[in-house]
Structure 1
Amino acid sequence: MTTYALAHLRNVTMGADIVAYLEAIDATMAPFGGRFVLHGAGNRRVLEGTFSSDIIMLSFPDRKAAEDWYDSPAYRAILPLRTRNSDGDVMLIDGVDDGHKATDVLQGN
């Protein structure tokens, strides 16, 4: 099942560290089958509330690949470049099966 790395970043200070992070991250994801699904503010239309942060979503083939990427020496080496220059929340979350329906979350409750 696909696993997503989802980051909600705020107060990003663009500078040499962030540029270096952006230049290096693709190479850290490649061995784990990672790819960008969403990246940054993009062309968005806020439908409810207010939102001025950035959303980044990466896709990995499965949970193990996502965890191995995040814990890899290559990614750990560049991680401080982002964390020193932004605030944010980052999580891994599994996707749902094809055909998932909203009421599927009620099963087992």
Structure 2
Amino acid sequence: MTALLIGNVGPVADHEGMAAYRERVGRILEAHGGRFVIRGGEFTVLEGAWWPTHLSVMEFPTADHARRWYTSPEYRELLSLREGTPMDLVLVEGP
């Protein structure tokens, strides 16, 4: 069952660290069967009060793939690069 990870990055605290994070995260994502479907870009809020800052959508073959990516030592190592930058991640499973 396909799974999507929907992410929103808040205001960036360390631009150099975040640039290094963005440069490396895609390779780790791919190694775990994932890919970016959307990475930034324009958006329009059609309803509600949620005003994201920087959206990304990642697709995985299954939710287990997404969880393994998120808990992998390779990804955990990257977290220090975005320290101080808030991020929301929501895992959604679909048909």
Q: Give the shorter-chain TM-score range.
A: 0.7 to 0.9
Distance change (3 Å), C-alpha of 1:59 and 1:78: same
- For residues 16-71 of structure 1, the C-alpha deviation after alignment (integer angstroms, 9 at most, x for no partner) is 1001101110111112111001112x122333457251111111000111111111
Aligned to 2:8, the other structure's residue is in SS state: strand
Match of residue 86 from structure 2? 87
Larger radius of gyration: 1
User: Percent identity at matched positions?
Assistant: 33
Letter in 2 for 1:9: V
What is the rounded CA distance, in whole Å, between the counterparts of 2:37 and 2:31 in structure 1? 17
TM-score, normalised relative to structure 1: 0.74
Give distance in 2, aligned partners of 1:59 and 1:39. Answer: 11
Report the alpha carbon displacement of residue 78 of structure 1 after superposing the two structures with TM: 0.2
1:12 to 2:20 alignment = no
Q: Please tell me whether residue 24 in structure 1 is matched to residue 32 in structure 2.
A: no
What is the correspondence of 1:45-60 to structure 2 with a 5 Å cutoff? 45-48=44-47, 49=49, 51=51, 53-60=53-60
Q: Which runs of 5+ in 2 are unaligned?
A: none
TM-score by length of 2: 0.84
Residue aligned with 1:90, SS: strand
CA contact (8 A) 2:7 2:55 kept: yes
Once residues 85 and 53 of structure 1 are traced to their aligned partners in structure 2, the CA distance between those partners, rounded to angstroms, is: 15
Over 3 Å counting, the alpha-carbon distance change for 1:60 and 1:14 in structure 2 is same
Provide closer, same or farther for how the CA distance between residues 32 and 50 of structure 1 changes in structure 2, counting only shifts above 3 A. Answer: closer
Q: Which portions of structure 1, spanning 4 or more consecutive aligned residues, are displaced by more than 4 angstroms?
A: none
Task: Tell me if the contact between 2:8 and 2:52 (Cα under 8 Å) persists in the aligned partners.
Answer: no
